Chains A and B, each alone.
Chain A
Amino acid sequence: MSTETNDLVVTSVHAHTGKGLGTGNPADAFVVEPARTRTRKTPRRTRTNFEMLAWLFMRLSGVVLVVLVLGHLLINLMLDGGVSRVSFAFVAGRWASPFWQVWDLLMLWLAMLHGSNGMRTVINDYAEKDATRLWLKGLLGVATVFTVVLGTLVIFTFDPNI
């Protein structure tokens, strides 16, 4: 969210002090320096943009998942008898079409990554001990990789004449 009160343009070099702003406020000279002053040696990007990319991924995958998941619910849970018609033969009929294979594959990957990243956020919020966080996230990672790989194999190796 933007702040509407500050129209002053301050260069990054002076960002930590109010000197030379010309606001006339004597307190400007005493603005506290930030805890980590950027120097010439400070990398422009601290590590990576991972958290920003994760934030963006949640929004992009979320919008796509609205279509994929609601379509999935409509077909498998509501239309033409709802769950009554779901069976091995029904699945075989749907996966005979590459369109639905791609639909399900995309839904599997996006939903698992979206859900897994959401769970990562929840773990980071509530698990206070370093070791607990590490273990929970490790478990989450293993479960996610296992589920995505299993689901992908199932879609690609499906045999209607098993």
Chain B
Amino acid sequence: MPAGTLYRGREGMWSWVAHRVTGVLIFFFLFAHVLDTALVRVSPEAYDSVIATYKFWLVNLMEYGLVAAILFHALNGLRVVAVDFWAKGPRYQKQMLWTVVGVWVVLMAGAFYPVLQHTLRTWFGG
């Protein structure tokens, strides 16, 4: 294969890929989440037992991943709205993507303890 013929994309393509992947993940979670919440109509015990799963450390870690996916999808979604509706949006799409990434990193750092506090306090007391 000749060198340099594979399109590796740039900020625009990779943000599109990430938006799509996070969107599909969130959709499947949402589907499951409505079903587990529906257990409040069965009995308090049934609901509390499924919520116990949410408190298991591995699932708690996955919740941090869910927050990561939702935050990226939300921030990048606002960027897409800006690209579509703001006259200068397309010109600044790259800068806006790096802003999205920056804000995402800060928010993810801020969400680390709040989301994982259940596991952290179970493991380390306090």
Contacts and interface: CB of A to CB of B under 8 A. Distances in A.
Nearest to A79: B114
Interface of A: 1, 59, 62-63, 65-66, 69-70, 73, 77-79, 81-84, 86-89, 91, 108, 111-112, 115-116, 118-119, 122, 143, 147, 150-151, 153-154, 157-159, 162
A77 B80 contact: no
Interface of B: 20, 23-24, 26-27, 30-31, 34-35, 37-38, 40-41, 43-44, 47-48, 51, 54-55, 60, 63, 67, 70-71, 74, 77-78, 80-81, 84-85, 90, 111, 114-118, 121
Contacts of A143: 31
Contact of A150 (B26, B30, B35, B77): B35
B38 A150 contact: yes
Contacts of A162: 40-41, 43-44
Contacts of A118: 23-24, 27
Interface of B is mostly: helix
B24 A122 contact: yes
Contact of B26 (A70, A83, A87, A115): A115
Contact of A154 (B24, B27, B38, B63): B38
A143 B40 CA distance: 20
